[in-house]
Amino acid sequence: MTTHHESVPTRCPVAHEDAEAPAGPIPIHGEAFTADPHATYRRLRAQGPIVPVEISPGVYGLLAVTYRAALHLLRNTPVRFAKDPRHWEALRLGQVPADSPARSMMQPRDNALWKDGEEHARLRKAITHSLGRVDTHALTATVTRIADQLIDAFAAAGEADLVAQYTDPLPMLTVIDMFGCSQELGGRIVSAVTRLFDGAEAARANAELEAACLELAHLKRRRPGRDVTSHLIAAGLTDPELIQTILLVIGAAAPPTSNHIGNGLRRVLTDPSFAGSVHDGVRPVADALDEVLWDNPPVPNYSPLYALGPQSFEGVELPPGVPILVSFAAANGDPALAVATPGARAGNRGHLAFSAGAHACPAPDLARIIAETALERALDRLPGLGLAVPESALENRPGTFLAGLTALPVRFQPDNRLIQDRPASHR
């Protein structure tokens, strides 16, 4: 099968004395990238503001790796750049493998993320209206309840994998509560979304995800309630639009928030500037989470765009038909934004973790409520919390579209009350 490699420039036309020109587009996938993505971002930035990359095996495009380039793309959508993947030439010509992780993450869908103009405005309004009806006080209470239930299950043991036992299930359970579906159905939806982000069996995960979202749509059309799914139905979305909108909102809310919480816990447990300070209230957990959004955003690379006609940015040609992804992680780490004082970015929300422009995250405050409440409950409920392994032993998930840990082994003081409540056979 041929690839779309030929239409993507293989080196930046701008000369850089300190840059060694790569032999071809640098991959933003695979073991080397996953182990140290920031090393790849530094190498890419040395080539220019927008550079050729291999998005997944055999799938090529461009990646914006500076803050200026990212804002240029995001703020000029849809005037100069389109979101509609039907502009993707390689996809149109059948050159993108059916089982490619990039295809499942970047193909056309009937939701606001992939639309431009009036269609985007209509679908986005349905999302913002539905999420705007979420009671934030009730949301905090829901997250607290779910966090306590998860912690109760392992608090007596004195050790846990906080990814598997806490950070992964908590946003999932919270979001499916918001959407008014059962844990079983919600679990299927979020599991499939996570596999899409990770690139695992992408085509199968996509099919399972769409089937589960359709099941939820039919359920709520029969029995509407005071939940986000019912609000989306009331906004007049068709079944195809509803399936893809549920997919979009849950996909944007659950797996990224899971990784944000996990990365926040890692920051608190390993960064000397936070040592003890969030426990005694000197620094709020929001500071740790803000710094994570700068340094290690949970969605590191996404938001594919397509030039509407031949364009250029700072000397780099941007040909039509070629996907241009935004690297939120690389843009946030742009040395042009470097600060002299450690921790100076706490409270600074100029990062691009929630994107920007017409397609920015419609409900960042809800994501913050979930992450902050989850982090606070873990620190409150698990005294003496610390890593059970050296930080160097922690491993990353495949990081093209989603950045997080595969596991976070910790130790803490066991909760003696829960030990006493456990049956003798489990002690």
* Residue closest to 209 by CA, chosen among 314, 133, 104, 134: 104
Is the pLDDT at 107 greater than 80, yes or no?
Answer: yes
How far, in Å, CA of 221 to CA of 60, rounded? 41
Is the pLDDT at 165 greater than 60, yes or no?
Answer: yes
* Average of per-residue pLDDT across 217-230: 94
pLDDT at 320: 97
How far, in Å, CA of 352 to CA of 293, rounded? 8
pLDDT at 282: 64
Residue 138: pLDDT band (50, 70, 90) is very high
* Residue closest to 372 by CA, chosen among 251, 261, 259: 261
Q: Each residue of 298-309: pLDDT tens digit? A: 999 999 999 999
% the chain with pLDDT above 70: 88
Tokens 């893809």 belong to 244
* Average of per-residue pLDDT across 105-113: 94
Q: Each residue of 17-64: pLDDT tens digit? A: 344 556 789 999 999 999 999 999 999 999 999 999 999 999 999 999
CB 375 within 8 A of CB 162: no
* Average of per-residue pLDDT across 184-207: 81
pLDDT at 10: 36
Is the pLDDT at 200 greater than 90, yes or no?
Answer: no
50-56 and 26-27 as β-strands: parallel, antiparallel, unpaired?
parallel
Residues in the chain: 427
Indicate the domain borders of the chain: 5-426
% the chain with pLDDT above 90: 74
Tokens 């587009």 belong to 25
Helices (H), 296-381: 328-332, 364-381
pLDDT at 347: 65
pLDDT at 1: 36
pLDDT at 186: 83
How far, in Å, CA of 39 to CA of 63, rounded? 15
| Identity at 377, one-letter amino acid code | R
CA atoms within 13 A on the CB side of 375: 29
* Average of per-residue pLDDT across 407-425: 77
* Residue closest to 375 by CA, chosen among 293, 281, 265, 273: 265
Is the pLDDT at 4 greater than 60, yes or no?
Answer: no
Q: In angstroms, how far apart are the furthest CA atoms of the chain?
A: 72
pLDDT at 420: 58
Q: Each residue of 318-327: pLDDT tens digit? A: 999 999 999 9
Residue 182: pLDDT band (50, 70, 90) is confident
How far, in Å, CA of 352 to CA of 328, rounded? 6
* Average of per-residue pLDDT across 340-348: 59
Is the pLDDT at 344 greater than 90, yes or no?
Answer: no
* Average of per-residue pLDDT across 111-127: 96
Q: What CATH number has the domain spanning 5-426?
A: 1.10.630.10
Adjacent-strand bridge partners of 405: 396
Which of 1-10, 70-79, 169-178 is predicted least confidently? 1-10
| Identity at 53, one-letter amino acid code | V
> Before 304, cis peptide (omega within 30)?
no
CB 384 within 8 A of CB 413: yes
Q: Each residue of 360-399: pLDDT tens digit? A: 999 999 999 999 999 999 999 999 999 999 999 999 988 8
pLDDT at 277: 63
pLDDT at 274: 77
Residue 280: pLDDT band (50, 70, 90) is low
